[in-house]
Amino acid sequence: MTKKTFKKHVTCIGAGYVGGPTMAVIAAKCPDIKVAVVDVNASRIAAWESDDLPIYEPGLLDMVKKARGRNLFFSTDIDAAIRTADILFVSVNTPTKTFGEGAGKAPDLQYWEKTARNIVKASQSDKIIVEKSTLPVRTAHAMERILNANNKGIHFEVASNPEFLAEGSAVKDLLDPDRVLIGTQETPTGLAARKELVDLYAHWVDRNDIITSNVWSAELSKLAANAFLAQRISSINSMSALCEKTEADVAEVGYAIGKDSRIGSKFLSASVGFGGSCFKKDILNLVYLCEHYGLSEVAHYWEYVVKINDYQMTRFVRGMIHAMFNTIAKKRIAVLGFAFKANTGDTRESPAIYVTKKLLEEQAHVVISDPKALANAKIDLADCRGEIEYERDPYVAVRGAHAIAVCTEWEEYKKLDYKRIFKSMEKPAFIFDGRNVLDHRRLHEIGFSVFPVGKRPLTHY
Ligand code: NAD
Ligand code: UGA
């Protein structure tokens, strides 16, 4: 197809959890726009071109199949896709730095900067560059300097359009977002870019839900949103520790406080801890920024959200060991769920990684089961020593086990035949429900000793 067939050309650099689904939705909703998704990772691109997509998201395959080859294209030819783009989204990874200055906190911007230099090299015309990746405040300024230092007379307008989708519900979140945030400079070229981006999203998002702001507010809003969300989880998890000491029930406390419309009911489920590629990374990014600006009290405040999360995961494993008579060496333990949340195969920063490693340190025999995340689990645990098995079928995973640890809230775990499971396990049989998703009373009636999070354990001794 020639460029003339389409009204606009949109390119996204980075075909990951954000780039792939976001572009699939843009392609689905804007048939007059050609959307190209490019990546350095050839196997990832090949997977996007197949029916075995590189990521699992409900509804994504259908959406990709409808647009692929029509106005949605995947490729490794990054330069060509840069050249033809009017609007260039950059959605490369921005992991926490593991080396040098800021190691362990600051984001590693090497992929982002490399992309910027690529854009300068391959471009032949003016473009709008959209920060989709989550970045420290004022990154757009640095990028604009790199991009506009070109000697080709090309103008690059950098906008920030952070992504708020959650994994497992990415398609739904993209189709019906709470808001779309577009940050631009308030110059004539900045305002023109703002209009282009608003018009793009207005193909399917109500204009009232498309918020515009200055670039720095948009960049900071993304970090702030993740920090506030994670803070709620750490807050309820801190309450879960107190509930376990006082016989208060964290679900009842969460329900009671969530009824206050000022607090709201979402994101108040106590758990083994939050995981995912972004909460920890983005809070540490925020902490680093605050430290950079000399705001040490603010930095400490947010750092504690991560510390409470670490504490929660530690508490969960300690609770297991303690309940199982202070020794789990050689005991078979089934970890049900390895993904960091349900409906995704993503295991980045999954609490299950921490739990498994700690169980292995105690010389337990760990059997991992998960409907979508076993391939990633094998990669995550590749360097671990000890007895590990991977088993898709939960009934096989639990056979002969002393304990089950539920680490992901997969719907299928609620529907298992726990009478059958109980019969096949060693006795006493323990269930540690790290997601509070099972019917604890019924499990207790069957014969299990049940240890939820933030609730009184139901034991048989
Ligand atoms: P990802 O690791 O799944 O995907 C990033 C992709 O970028 C990879 O496929 C990688 O090969 C590619 N890439 C890296 N350098 C490149 C280069 N120079 N040229 C071309 N491709 C390159 O990451 P992700 O989860 O999609 O996250 C991307 C960004 O979006 C991050 O900043 C993240 O914080 C943010 N974010 C993620 C989520 C989420 O749910 N995962 C949600 C909102 C925002
Ligand atoms: C999160 C945010 O929700 C998105 O808005 C954001 O775009 C994204 O991070 C990002 O920037 O990457 P995500 O990590 O995909 O999305 O998933 P969440 O639903 O936020 O869950 C994160 C973790 O918190 C999971 O481990 C989940 O199980 C846990 N969680 C969530 C709880 O323990 N309790 C809750 O009440 C809610």
How many residues are given for the chain?
461
Bond prior to 428 in cis (omega within 30° of 0) = yes
278 is an active site residue:
yes
The one catalytic residue among 12, 30, 243, 278: 278
pLDDT at 2 over 50: no
- Ligand 2 pocket residue status of 268, Cβ below 6 Å: yes
Mean pLDDT of the chain: 96
Residue keyed to tokens 């990546």: 39
User: Which tens digit of pLDDT belongs to each residue from 298-341?
Assistant: 999 999 999 999 999 999 999 999 999 999 999 999 999 999 99
Query: Which residue's CA lies nearest to atom 32 of ligand 1?
Result: 133
Ligand 1 atom with the smallest distance to the CA of 167 is 40
Find the mean pLDDT for residues 202-221. 97
Instruction: Tabulate helix, strand, coil % of the chain (nearest 5).
Output: 45, 15, 40
Ligand 1 atom with the smallest distance to the CA of 277 is 41
Edge-first strand listing for the sheet containing 388-390:
388-390, 365-369, 332-336, 403-406, 430-433, 449-452
Q: Do 90 and 22 touch, CB atoms closer than 8 A?
A: no
Residue 132: partners with Cβ closer than 8 Å, 6 or more residues away: 12, 14, 18, 19, 22, 89, 90, 91, 161, 162, 163
Query: Which residue's CA lies nearest to atom 2 of ligand 2?
Result: 166
pLDDT band of residue 136 (cuts 50, 70, 90) is confident
Phi and psi, residue 360, nearest 5°: -65, -40
Using DSSP's 3-state secondary structure scheme, residue 284 falls into: helix
Residue 378: partners with Cβ closer than 8 Å, 6 or more residues away: 390
CA distances from 139 to 134, 143, 263, 285 (A): 10, 6, 32, 12
Distance 331 CA to ligand 1 centre (A): 39
Q: Which of 11, 39, 178 for mutating ligand 1's site (highest number of atoms within 8 Å of CB)?
A: 39
- Ligand 2 pocket residue status of 274, Cβ below 6 Å: yes
Nearest-ligand number for the alpha carbon of 342: 2
User: Which tens digit of pLDDT belongs to each residue from 230-264?
Assistant: 999 999 999 999 999 999 999 999 999 999 999 99
- Rounded CA gap, 218 and 413, in Å? 39
Q: Is 450 exposed, middle or buried (0-12, 13-18, 19+ CB in 10 A)?
A: buried
pLDDT band of residue 137 (cuts 50, 70, 90) is confident
Q: Which of 278, 306, 313, 370 for mutating ligand 2's site (highest number of atoms within 8 Å of CB)?
A: 278
Find the mean pLDDT for residues 368-380. 97
Distance 111 CA to ligand 1 centre (A): 9
Distance 20 CA to ligand 1 centre (A): 9
Query: pLDDT above 70 covers what percent of the chain?
Result: 99
Q: Do 214 and 186 touch, CB atoms closer than 8 A?
A: yes
- Ligand 2 pocket residue status of 401, Cβ below 6 Å: no
User: Which tens digit of pLDDT belongs to each residue from 399-440?
Assistant: 999 999 999 999 999 999 999 999 999 999 999 999 999 999
- Among 92, 88, 218, 113, which residue's Cα sits nearest to residue 160? 218
Phi-psi category of residue 363: left, alpha or beta, with phi > 0 → left and psi -120 to 50 → alpha: left
Least confident of 89-103, 153-167, 215-229, 427-441: 89-103
pLDDT at 76 over 90: yes
- pLDDT of 1 reads 45
pLDDT at 4 over 90: no
- Ligand 1 pocket residue status of 309, Cβ below 6 Å: no
- Ligand 2 pocket residue status of 340, Cβ below 6 Å: yes
